[in-house]
Amino acid sequence: MNPSTPSPSTRGPQWRRVSLWAVPVALLLVGAIVWASFFSGPRHSASTAEQSSSERAQDPATDDAQADDGASEEPDGSGKGNGASPEGPGGSTDGRKATTALDRSLKRFRAAQRRLAARVSQQLEERTQPVTFRVATFNVLGDSHTGPGGNKPAFYPDASPRMDMAIATLRNNGVDVVGFQEFESTQHNMFASRAGEYSLYPGLSLGTKSVRFNIAWRSAVFSLVEAHTLSVPYAGGSRIEMPVVLLESTATGRRAWFANFHNPADTPSLGNNGRWRAEGAALEVAHLTALHAEDGYPVIVTGDFNERSEIFCRFTAGGVFSAAAGGSTGAACAPPPSMQVDWIFGSTGVAFDGYAVTDTGRASDHAMVQAQATLTEAQ
């Protein structure tokens, strides 16, 4: 018998021994395979991921395609592309809410724009409409003339009762803007405390000389926009600051300049002041003509000019100003038939009506000159 070939008698016991060891060996092999599979899985996945990343890095077309896929998703997060919305399950609802809120904000903004445009259009229209008011010039006779040592006869009472008369004259005639002359500090204080419906410029702010030329306006009718003064020669050539104000209609927003002057008289105590009146008038006309040309606002001038035909021709010769009392405008000087030394002039853009010379009784030695002024329709 070939010894290399086991005989059945010899194989029986050997197989039984192998059978006894086979079960534990098989169990060990199965456990080893399971263990190897468990621990080798992540390393295999990581390796695969690294390989995939490497492949993507080597192939830019893949990234572009993925970017295109992402861009194809709806902006509200509904995600028509391959990937899920980064906002999660509620992304689509949140996107719609944000879009709705934005739409509402835009609608409110556009509505506010329309309201603002309508308001601006209305204001612009109002600022082109005519505005009518009553304007006056009033030399109230300075307190120093009727107080102790004054040069006026006893016919005129002192300043306090005369100021009451002056205020009554303004109110009874519905005067909205008035230029005062000889309006001394004591009279200013009386007027300010008794006629609270009026505002004043310059008040007492420029001292006891300039206070005499205050402009007053009814606060319910006009408001002050800006103010300045013009240095005008008075008696003997001494300079005094006289007021120029830009007022705005509280009803329409229309604006106009108002200036008030007092040019010196010829008197025994003050001497002959014709030279200073001429110089002062030239300054006044030049300044106000330039002011009107600069911004286009109408200009109204009040004052005691202590001249009649002379001041009329000086103001109207340039064709810019006309007198509330009437007469010509332009180089051919034709004064009105009746003239005072107290005048109201208006530039182009101002029309006058209802001119009147109102007696003031014992309130002053001057009448109050007044007229209805209209700021004509702006172009």
Q: DSSP for 198-229?
A: EEEESTTTTHHHHGGG-EEEETTTEEEEEEEE
The pLDDT, as a whole number, for residue 241 is 98
Burial of 308 (0-12, 13-18, 19+ CB in 10 A): middle
The pLDDT, as a whole number, for residue 377 is 79
Distance CA 121, CA 328 (A): 38
Residues 341, 199, single domain; the answer is yes
Distance CA 185, CA 260 (A): 17
Residues 178, 46, single domain; the answer is no
The pLDDT, as a whole number, for residue 89 is 52
Angle at Cα 90 formed by Cα 89 and Cα 94, nearest 5°? 150
CA 340, 346, 348, 349 dihedral sign is negative
Q: In sequence order, what are the residues at sequence separation of 6 or more whose Cβ sits closer than 8 angstroms to the Cβ of residue 184?
A: 142, 143, 144, 159, 208, 211, 212
Residues 189, 302, single domain; the answer is yes
In a domain, 41, yes or no: yes
Strands 299-304 and 255-262: parallel
Residues 158, 249, single domain; the answer is yes
In a domain, 78, yes or no: no
Return phi, psi of residue 234, to 5°: -110, -155
In a domain, 121, yes or no: yes
Residues 121, 146, single domain; the answer is no
Note down the domain range covering 280.
Answer: 130-375
Residues 112, 261, single domain; the answer is no
Distance CA 159, CA 143 (A): 5
In a domain, 3, yes or no: no
> By the 8 A CB rule, do 241 and 230 touch?
yes
Angle at Cα 318 formed by Cα 350 and Cα 241, nearest 5°? 75
Please choose, from the candidates 176, 100, 172, the residue with its C-alpha nearest in 3D space to the C-alpha of residue 136.
Answer: 176
> By the 8 A CB rule, do 175 and 215 touch?
no
Total domains in the chain come to 3
The pLDDT, as a whole number, for residue 92 is 76
In a domain, 2, yes or no: no
The pLDDT, as a whole number, for residue 18 is 36
Residues 140, 249, single domain; the answer is yes
In a domain, 87, yes or no: no
Q: Is the pTM of this model over 0.75?
A: no
CA 293, 299, 305, 307 dihedral sign is positive
In a domain, 88, yes or no: no
> By the 8 A CB rule, do 229 and 211 touch?
no
In eight-state DSSP terms, residue 127 is T
In a domain, 233, yes or no: yes
Please choose, from the candidates 191, 172, 171, the residue with its C-alpha nearest in 3D space to the C-alpha of residue 183.
Answer: 191
Distance CA 140, CA 166 (A): 7
Residues 259, 246, single domain; the answer is yes
Angle at Cα 251 formed by Cα 373 and Cα 176, nearest 5°? 40
In eight-state DSSP terms, residue 365 is S
The pLDDT, as a whole number, for residue 63 is 43
* Low-confidence residues in the chain, pLDDT < 70: 1-91, 124-125, 379
CATH code at position 293: 3.60.10.10
> By the 8 A CB rule, do 123 and 253 touch?
yes
How far is CA 207 from its chain centroid?
Answer: 32
> By the 8 A CB rule, do 99 and 112 touch?
no
The pLDDT, as a whole number, for residue 140 is 98
Residues 273, 217, single domain; the answer is yes
Q: For residue 272, what are its two tokens?
A: 């002959």
% of the chain residues with pLDDT over 90? 67
Residues 193, 104, single domain; the answer is no
Q: For residue 82, what are its two tokens?
A: 């391959």
In eight-state DSSP terms, residue 362 is G
The tally of CA atoms less than 13 A away on the side-chain side of residue 50 is: 6
Residues 240, 338, single domain; the answer is yes
Please choose, from the candidates 245, 181, 238, the residue with its C-alpha nearest in 3D space to the C-alpha of residue 213.
Answer: 181
Residues 216, 118, single domain; the answer is no
The pLDDT, as a whole number, for residue 60 is 39
The pLDDT, as a whole number, for residue 379 is 57
Q: Where are the alpha helices (DSSP H) in the chain?
A: 8-58, 60-71, 91-126, 143-146, 159-172, 185-194, 207-210, 274-295, 309-316
> By the 8 A CB rule, do 194 and 187 touch?
no
